[in-house]
Structure 1
Amino acid sequence: MGHIVGAALVSHHPGLMQCEEFRVLMGAGSDSDLIPGYARLREKIAAAKPDVVMILDSHWFTTGYHMVDGAARYQGSYISDEMPWYLHGVPYDYRGHPELALAIEAVSREQGGYNRAINHPELGRQYATINLVKQLGLELADIPVVTVSSCQNCDWPHFLQSGESIGEAIRRSGLRVVLLASGALSHKFNPIDWKPNHPRIFHESNVSRPENIASDKGAIALMEQGRHDSVLERWQDEYRKMPWEAFGAHYLQMLGAMGGAACRAKGEALSAYENARGTGNIHIWFDQETA
């Protein structure tokens, strides 16, 4: 039987792909804790010994279906259409896992869901995937990566359902899988002419609004307690309205795969809670083998 051997909510903040000199300059001499947080996450993934890493990509927006990328290999040079002036010329070369992608579609069809596999050589990448592949050394470790999209005409229960199909397919697969929910919590950007509240650009006080900071920290506290049921209870009235990045699709798909409201996996913060152009970011690990 397959098993989810670990999971994490992970920031993919594109500024972290900039050169060290620029980041230190922007941080007034103090770099982001999300950078060493990636090293901590690498250690967790290595200890989990996964056969596959699945990235729930909050930037890959699809319509009609949650897509599961099922190519055997991904090779190319990435350029961001969002920030091409500095996020460009990033080479990537990593393996996929077509069998798992097809298994997820099969289970989803069986359950009346909306997950579908896709394998097309010209399908582009998103930096919510590429940044994690690079920062977590998944190419060097030669670990297959499967990316899942955020279906933009779905509501939050559909994302939980998507995760349920993913979890069942993993159980039937015999594979050891780590899930990475790639995205932020609250996702309201600061205006282009915004003046920082704190000289350290990544500092939490530079998140767009005080109420977003309070809400994000409340959600983080519940995750650390393993009270994902309480997060879901507050979803429609609070977190959906913030809103979280991709309306929380990345977290909800991860949670659906781990049991939904019944999940009691306690979160371990692997970085400080930080700002990224006004959005709330953190790395949180959920150890499934002891959950």
Structure 2
Amino acid sequence: MGKIVGAALVSHHPGLFQSDEFRVKMGNGEDSDLVPGYERVRRKIEEVEADTIIIFDSHWFTTGFHLIDGGAHFKGSYISDEMPWYLYGQQYDYAGSPALAGLIEAVAQENNVFSKAIYDKDLPRHYATINVVNKLVKGEKVVSVSTCQNCQPHHYIESGRVIGEAIARSDARVVLLGSGALSHKFNEIDWVQKNPRIYHEENVSRTENIALDKEAIALFEEGRHDLILSQWDAKFRPLPWEGFGGHYLQLVGALGAEQCRAKGTTLSAYENARGTGNVHIWFDIQ
């Protein structure tokens, strides 16, 4: 019988994948805390002895279906079409889990949820997966799950529930990773930094986003996912969160949605990335 052994929300922003010298310069003499934060998350993954990682990819936008990448193995070099001058030459080489992808699709069909596994080797990769793999995966199998863009919040939660059930029917020890920011309102192209340390929260695009991101973090730490979900439409959805918040909603759906009481441990500082709010938060699963 399979089990979800841990979960986390993690940042993937391209600034974290620049040279050490560049990052320290942009940090006004200090690196982003999200970089050593990856090491903290990695230690958690090792502690729970995961053999499989599911990544909810907030950049893989699909239409009509929640898609699951069922490839057996992935190897190549990645360049971002969004910012090819900045994020390029990312080498990747990791194993997938076609069996788990197929099981997720089968459980979805049983429950009339629009999820489909894709096994085509030419399916493009996205940096919300590649960046996280390169920082956090050390031999585990990886399954990426899309963010279906014609969904309401309850559709993401249904997708997560299906994934949770499929994991329970498998023999895998799974860590769930929601790859994306919290608030995701970019600064304009010609914005001027408020703080000389680019990662500083003062550079997040709106003060109200900072306040609501911190409110969400506090609720994560208390394990009050029910309160986040009950206030989702009124408070958090309008910010908006990255990828419609699908990376979090699918993750918490797999953990029981409103019934989930997994408490979060913040494993990095809360930081800016081009106006968006970024943090690593680990959820212990009992």
Same fold per TM (> 0.5)? yes
| 1:273 aligned residue (270, 275, 280) | 270
Residue 158 of structure 1 aligns with which residue?
A: 155
| 2:225 aligned residue (214, 228, 231) | 228
Please state how far the C-alpha of 1:208 moved relative to its aligned partner.
Answer: 0.4
The one-letter amino acid paired with 1:33 is D
Partners of 1:7 and 1:263 in 2: CA distance: 12
Residue 16 of structure 2 aligns with which residue?
A: 16
The one-letter amino acid paired with 1:216 is D
Partners of 1:13 and 1:74 in 2: CA distance: 21
Residue 243 of structure 1 aligns with which residue?
A: 240
- For residue 253 of structure 1, give the secondary structure of its aligned residue in structure 2: helix
The one-letter amino acid paired with 2:174 is V
Partners of 1:279 and 1:89 in 2: CA distance: 24
Please state how far the C-alpha of 1:30 moved relative to its aligned partner.
Answer: 1.2
- For residue 58 of structure 1, give the secondary structure of its aligned residue in structure 2: strand
Question: Cα deviation per residue 1:202-237 (whole Å; 9 max; x = unaligned)?
Answer: 011110000000010001101100000000011011
Partners of 2:183 and 2:86 in 1: CA distance: 24
Partners of 1:144 and 1:118 in 2: CA distance: 16
Please state how far the C-alpha of 1:135 moved relative to its aligned partner.
Answer: 1.1
2:275 equivalent to 1:262? no
Partners of 1:86 and 1:275 in 2: CA distance: 17
Residue 175 of structure 1 aligns with which residue?
A: 172
2:55 equivalent to 1:55? yes
Partners of 1:50 and 1:38 in 2: CA distance: 16
Please state how far the C-alpha of 1:174 moved relative to its aligned partner.
Answer: 2.0
Question: Cα deviation per residue 1:68-88 (whole Å; 9 max; x = unaligned)?
Answer: 000100011101000100211
2:94 equivalent to 1:88? no
Question: Cα deviation per residue 1:97-127 (whole Å; 9 max; x = unaligned)?
Answer: 0000000000001001011100111111100
The one-letter amino acid paired with 1:41 is V
Partners of 1:214 and 1:148 in 2: CA distance: 29
Identity among equivalent pairs (%): 63
Q: Is the 8 A contact 2:14 2:86 kept in 1?
A: no
After superposing on structure 2, the runs of 4+ consecutive aligned residues of structure 1 that deviate more than 6 Å are none
The one-letter amino acid paired with 2:176 is L
Partners of 1:27 and 1:188 in 2: CA distance: 21
Give the alignment's Cα RMSD to 1 decimal: 0.7
Partners of 1:270 and 1:30 in 2: CA distance: 17
Partners of 1:163 and 1:172 in 2: CA distance: 14
Please state how far the C-alpha of 1:192 moved relative to its aligned partner.
Answer: 1.3
- For residue 131 of structure 1, give the secondary structure of its aligned residue in structure 2: helix
Partners of 1:110 and 1:24 in 2: CA distance: 51
Partners of 2:174 and 2:163 in 1: CA distance: 11
Partners of 2:271 and 2:187 in 1: CA distance: 14
Please state how far the C-alpha of 1:91 moved relative to its aligned partner.
Answer: 1.3
Partners of 1:193 and 1:79 in 2: CA distance: 24
Partners of 1:270 and 1:115 in 2: CA distance: 32
Partners of 2:202 and 2:87 in 1: CA distance: 26
